[in-house]
Amino acid sequence: MRKVELLAPAGDMECLKTAIKFGADAVYLGGPIMQLRSSVTGFDLEKLAEAVSYVHSFGKKIYVTVNSFAKEGEFEEIAAYGKKLKELNVDAVIVSDLGVISCLRKEVPDLEIHVSTQANCQNSFCANVYYQMGARRIVLAREMTLEEIKEFSQNIPQDLDIEAFVHGAMCMSFSGRCFISSYLTGRSGNRGECTQPCRWRYHLVEQTRPNEFFPVEEGEKGTTLLSSRDMKCIDFIDQLVDAGVTSFKIEGRMKSPYYVATVVNAYRHAIDKTADVSLLSQELDCVSHRPYSSGFYFGELERYTPDDDMAYKQDKVFAGVAKKWENGRLTLEQRNRFCVGDVLEIVSPKSIGLSFEVKNMVNSLGETVDCAPHPQEIITVDCPFELEEGDILRKR
């Protein structure tokens, strides 16, 4: 397998550091403006400078999303923002809007541009136009099949990279261009303010019976009919490489450090062929997810069937983050309740499948306790494995 990039999401500094620790080659994040997760995540310029310095200290890359669709009066601010990002030495910006690409190429010609999946580029004619405008990477539309990607890759310049999503949530709308949130709430998903109404529950109302609500049946755990399955491609990454993909992108800038650690770790091992894929696939069941699918890579997205359970699933629970290990004693920061007698599994870049039983617990006051019920309290336990700071612990 030729060298490919593993690209991870970073919604905050903890997730960014986790992604780097667990093997990401690059991270992507949003800054203070023009990004599609503006209501939840986003680095201010000071934090962004810190992030760039941290990522570059490991020889990794950092990309900033500038992928909102711009309005007429915003281009002066966009030009100034682009110059600031170049000054901070970010490796590239991810852009959707043709006008923004044109503006940045004119005002900051040395700033590398990646074309966002929001631009729904899915043919070489379109890609070559972006290339002539100065773009050096296309983030493919998620509607493309492996065969389409292979043909696409044969008709573009060799120095135009292809990036594709391999894991995480998928928007049901074409390349994420959804207007439901804007219509129902006045908050546009294309401006970074999506309220995710596709995941709300809906009822039918018959015209002559305005006060009678009939549920849209899906199953016992929910009626989110408008929301798709999650994507999982760990079983066929070799085929993505053969098709010409050079960067594997993981979705999830709103996810926890536990999610980032588990997913990045699994794909890192899969790319490096250092663990059995069936074991790695099981690892991906340990984070919160909808039922998995292979997206559109093998053709039409799997259709909804009425007896499907589309509720979120999760086999394991985020228990804590390792802070220090010394002489068989592990100090950790708790994230969810666990107690003496629980079995904690270890998520580490160095190993897969290790676990130990919690036989004793001491809190930060030196008191022996039976449980760790308080968020982010510091706990010390016996641990037979030498862990490193930032390793993750989860509970069965």
* DSSP notation for 166-224: EEE---SSGGG---HHHHHHS--GGGT----GGGS--EEE-TT-TT-EEE---BTTB--
Q: How far is the C-alpha of 30 from the C-alpha of 66, rounded, in Å?
A: 7
- Whether the Cβ atoms of residue 312 and residue 259 lie closer than 8 Å to each other: no
**Tokens 């990279």 -> residue:** 161
> Which pLDDT does position 269 carry in this prediction?
97
Contacts of 161 (CB under 8 A, 6+ apart): 114, 136, 137, 138, 246, 247
Q: How far is the C-alpha of 104 from the C-alpha of 134, rounded, in Å?
A: 10
Q: Hey, CA dihedral for 378, 337, 342, 395, is it positive or negative?
A: negative
The residues spanned by each domain of the chain are 5-174+227-293, 317-395
- Whether the Cβ atoms of residue 56 and residue 89 lie closer than 8 Å to each other: yes
Q: How far is CA 242 from CA 27, 146, 237, in A?
A: 23, 9, 9
Q: How far is the C-alpha of 155 from the C-alpha of 131, rounded, in Å?
A: 12
Q: Residue 18, class by beta-carbon neighbours within 10 Å (0-12 exposed, 13-18 middle, 19+ buried)?
A: buried
Q: How far is the C-alpha of 268 from the C-alpha of 263, rounded, in Å?
A: 8
Instruction: Report the CATH superfamily, name and number, of domain 317-395.
Output: Translation factors (2.40.30.10)
pTM, two decimal places: 0.86
Q: How far is the C-alpha of 219 from the C-alpha of 207, rounded, in Å?
A: 25
Q: How far is CA 386 from CA 338, 355, 364, in A?
A: 20, 12, 21
29 pairs with which residues across the strands? 64
> Which pLDDT does position 177 carry in this prediction?
62
| Tens place of pLDDT per residue across the chain (396 aa) | 568 999 999 999 999 999 999 999 999 999 998 876 655 667 999 999 999 999 999 999 999 999 888 999 999 999 999 999 999 999 999 999 999 999 999 999 999 999 999 899 999 999 999 999 999 999 999 889 999 999 999 999 999 999 999 999 877 665 666 666 676 677 766 656 677 777 676 667 777 777 776 666 555 544 455 567 889 999 999 999 999 999 999 999 889 999 999 999 999 999 999 999 999 999 999 998 888 989 889 987 654 444 345 567 788 999 999 999 999 999 999 999 999 999 999 999 998 989 999 999 999 999 999 999 999 999 999 999 999 999 999 998
CATH 3.20.20.380 fits 5-174+227-293, yes or no: yes
Residue 170, CB half-sphere, CA atoms under 13 Å: how many?
A: 27
**Tokens 């780097």 -> residue:** 20
Read off the tokens for 59.
């020889």
Compute how many other C-beta atoms are within 10 angstroms of the C-beta atom of residue 341. Answer: 10
**CA neighbor of 235 nearest in space, from 181, 175, 323, 295:** 295
CA angle 8, 253, 175 (to 5 degrees): 90
- Whether the Cβ atoms of residue 35 and residue 95 lie closer than 8 Å to each other: no
> Which pLDDT does position 306 carry in this prediction?
40
